[in-house]
């Protein structure tokens, strides 16, 4: 999974990126500090995996991983090549989802590229650049569909939908907010490579005072929350400066610090949780002495498809999956033999839909 972190210059994007990845991306109080996208790989925290490692003492421990990409700050005119626009658009095209960092705090010490702090305007600025890029792409597909329509009347539905999509984008609305209830409409949106169709998490960067004092009292945050709800996007209140403090602490100190803030999880953990929810992802687990590992799959994936994540031969020669739910495994004392004796280990076939936390052994033959 690859997440692109975007935002106008000086909203705290690179500070937040540094904090959650410890990748040391340059951070400074001037625009275009980030020119090449910085990349940080982050392990997905999973207490279940940690527990399995305690039981099996594996030679190898492999959690799921998320790749964060800190993409250059954007300004108006990016779709026309202004600033680092072309680089921004090409980088964002490669990510699975967007973490859009918006500034929700005032500070005389940190300049804002627009001269004032207004997260709604900042969101519109970036969205418009994505929409302008999308209009070009949709225009090309519409031209192609209209030419095909002359010899194939079955293309009429696609032409009509692309015209509707064009009007929607021209109104300044993102592709992800269009009404598209039919599967064939979703297929068009998914295969047109639209930037404004990508799933979004709005990361509201607040001051330490606001974050501790109650996020619902921050008017800027509430405005962003309304936008997120209208688009079906996720929203994450966060304080980049606090995350920077947390990132330098030991695990024990981190827990105490979070407890003082009244938080159960760090900003990174909460962001990962939002990403999994937004993209409809779950994890299944494999466990043994050679390796304890988490595998990320889409909700609704059947057993052969999940096996294919390990190796294509597993999917091609799939026979069955021996499955035990993590909670059932732990109820049997974390012992696979005991779990089998209690009938908790199931033999599942090709139609089995994988569940989050399944511990699996795939049987296959090629």
Contact 193, 96 (CB under 8 A): no
CA distance 347 to 160: 48
CA distance 102 to 237: 10
Residue 27: per-residue pLDDT: 45
Closest alpha carbon to 93 in 193, 200, 3 = 193
The set of residues, in sequence order, having a beta carbon less than 8 Å from that of 190 and lying 6+ positions away, is: 197
Strand order in the sheet with 234-238: 38-43, 65-70, 2-6, 97-103, 200-205, 234-238
Contact 188, 158 (CB under 8 A): yes
Provide the whole-model pTM.
Answer: 0.82
Dihedral sign, Cα of residue 16, residue 200, residue 86, residue 95: positive
Q: Which residue has the tokens 């020119």?
A: 35
Per the structure block, which two tokens stand in for 259? 């407890």
CA distance 198 to 179: 15
Residue 28: per-residue pLDDT: 41
Residue 29: per-residue pLDDT: 42
CA distance 266 to 244: 11
CA distance 27 to 258: 25
Q: Which residue has the tokens 């908790």?
A: 344
Residue 75: per-residue pLDDT: 56
Residue pLDDT tens, the chain, 366 long: 889 998 887 788 888 888 887 754 444 443 334 445 588 888 888 899 999 999 999 999 999 888 888 887 565 555 455 444 456 788 888 899 999 999 888 776 665 656 678 899 989 988 998 899 899 999 999 999 999 999 888 999 999 999 999 999 999 999 998 999 899 999 999 999 899 999 999 999 988 888 877 778 888 999 999 999 988 899 999 988 888 888 888 888 988 988 888 888 888 888 888 889 889 999 999 999 999 999 999 999 999 999 999 999 999 999 999 999 999 999 999 999 999 999 999 999 999 999 999 999 999 998
CA distance 61 to 293: 6
**Distances from the Cα of 5 to the Cα of 16, 47, 98, 200, 231, angstroms:** 9, 26, 6, 10, 18
Residue 84: per-residue pLDDT: 45
Q: Burial, 92: exposed, middle or buried (Cβ in 10 Å; 0-12, 13-18, 19+)?
A: buried
């Amino acid at each position: 999974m690859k997440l692109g972190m975007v935002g106008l210059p000086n909203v705290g994007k690179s500070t937040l990126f540094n904090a959650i990845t410890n990748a040391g991306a340059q951070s400074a109080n001037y625009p275009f500090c980030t020119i090449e996208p910085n990349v940080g790989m982050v392990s997905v925290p999973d207490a279940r995996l940690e527990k399995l490692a305690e039981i099996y003492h594996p030679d190898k421990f492999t959690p799921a991983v998320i790749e964060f990409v800190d993409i250059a700050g954007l300004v108006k005119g990016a779709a026309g090549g202004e600033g680092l626009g072309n680089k921004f658009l090409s980088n964002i095209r490669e990510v699975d989802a967007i973490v859009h960092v918006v500034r929700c705090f005032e500070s005389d010490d940190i300049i804002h590229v627009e001269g004032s702090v207004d997260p709604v305007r900042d969101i519109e600025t970036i969205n418009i650049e994505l929409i302008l890029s999308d209009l070009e792409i949709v225009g090309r597909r519409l031209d192609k569909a209209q030419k095909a329509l002359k010899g194939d009347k079955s293309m009429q539905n696609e032409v009509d939908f692309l015209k509707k999509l064009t009007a929607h984008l021209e109104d300044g609305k993102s592709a992800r907010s269009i009404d598209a209830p039919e599967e064939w409409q979703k297929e068009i949106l998914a295969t047109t490579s639209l930037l404004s169709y990508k799933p979004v998490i709005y990361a509201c960067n607040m001051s330490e005072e606001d974050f501790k004092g109650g996020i619902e009292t921050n008017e800027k945050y509430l405005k962003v929350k309304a936008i997120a709800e209208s688009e079906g996007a996720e929203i994450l209140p966060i304080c980049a400066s606090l995350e920077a403090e947390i990132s330098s602490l030991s695990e024990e100190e981190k827990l105490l610090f979070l407890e003082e803030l009244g938080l159960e999880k760090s900003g990174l953990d909460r962001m990962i949780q939002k990403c999994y929810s937004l993209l409809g992802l779950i994890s299944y687990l494999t466990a043994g002495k050679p390796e304890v590992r988490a595998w990320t799959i889409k909700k609704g994936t059947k057993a052969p498809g999940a096996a294919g994540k390990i190796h294509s031969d597993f999917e091609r020669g799939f026979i069955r999956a021996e499955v035990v739910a993590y909670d059932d495994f732990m109820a049997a004392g974390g012992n696979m033999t005991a779990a089998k004796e209690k009938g908790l280990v199931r033999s599942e076939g090709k139609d089995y839909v994988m569940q989050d936390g399944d511990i699996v052994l795939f049987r296959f033959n090629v």
